[in-house]
Amino acid sequence: MKKEHIIKERDTLLNYLLNAELPYSKSKIRSLLKHHCVAINGVTTTQFDAPLLPKDVVTLVEYNPKLDTPLNIIYEDKNILVINKPNALLSVPTENQKEISAFDYVKDYLNHPVYVIHRLDKFTSGVLIFAKNVKTQAYYRDDWQKKAPDRSYIAIVEGKVTEKSGTIQSYLQESKSLFVFSSDTGKEAISHFETIRTNDRYSALLVSLETGRRNQIRVHMADLKHPIAGDSKYGAKTNPIKRLALHAYRVKVKDPINHKLMTFIAPIPQSFNQMIGLADYR
């Protein structure tokens, strides 16, 4: 959770934090600084002696040691940055979830503004693309589905899927509690799947999106009566790897300059391999 403090007089950052009657020990405050959890006027800093002026806003974000991992960069050029987002990390901060996000890490890495193109659910890992400028963001947001014609996920679902492939089409609605469900009305959602591996308890599917609705794959797998492992929200009974078994494996996008297709792949998590043996999948 973020905590904001408005500075009343000149000071230095560490001195202010140590004397601000915060519910943290000295070592905890130093840890927050070390792990990029302190910002001055929206800019993250690790500088202990950073100067503070009256009306400056100091923001503290609660540090989660599970997220203490280097930014896993898949690709970078002058227009985009592509990362392999870990599980349990928000794509972007929200009003209701003010914890640190992939957006914060990328912004800190680039040290200049970053622009959101698309999102992954917090508990979905894999390919996530950010724009480095407004022009690139606008290019992709103008019909993202055509600019990214291949958005494929690995989903480990409960039970043995007998179909080799299939398509799921429904209309999705969202309740006030953010629960998404198929109904007779709502926004059309289309997912295609291919069965990659099966065993007695689980099946590995390659799921490709034709549309991109909130929780689309999770709802469609539940509609198939094969919920994603670890997805208790949508009916899963098991959680063998202590996470949602959904990974954004491959994204193909058009280059914003020459419009040639670029392919980005985030390796399948080792925990998925242990569940169903995907180490040789390409």
Question: How many angstroms separate the Cα of 166 from the Cα of each of 64, 173, 192, 198, 220?
Answer: 40, 22, 6, 16, 11
Cβ–Cβ under 8 Å, residues 155 and 149: no
User: What is the rounded CA–CA span in Å between residue 38 and residue 51?
Assistant: 13
Amino acid at residue number 52: L
The H or E element containing residue 125 is strand 125-131
- Return all residues near 245 (Cβ < 8 A) that are at least 6 apart: 155, 156, 157, 228, 229, 230, 231, 272, 275
Question: How many angstroms separate the Cα of 90 from the Cα of each of 125, 146, 220, 249?
Answer: 10, 25, 22, 17
Question: How many angstroms separate the Cα of 170 from the Cα of each of 34, 158, 182?
Answer: 47, 21, 6
Cβ–Cβ under 8 Å, residues 197 and 276: yes
Residues noted as catalytic: 121
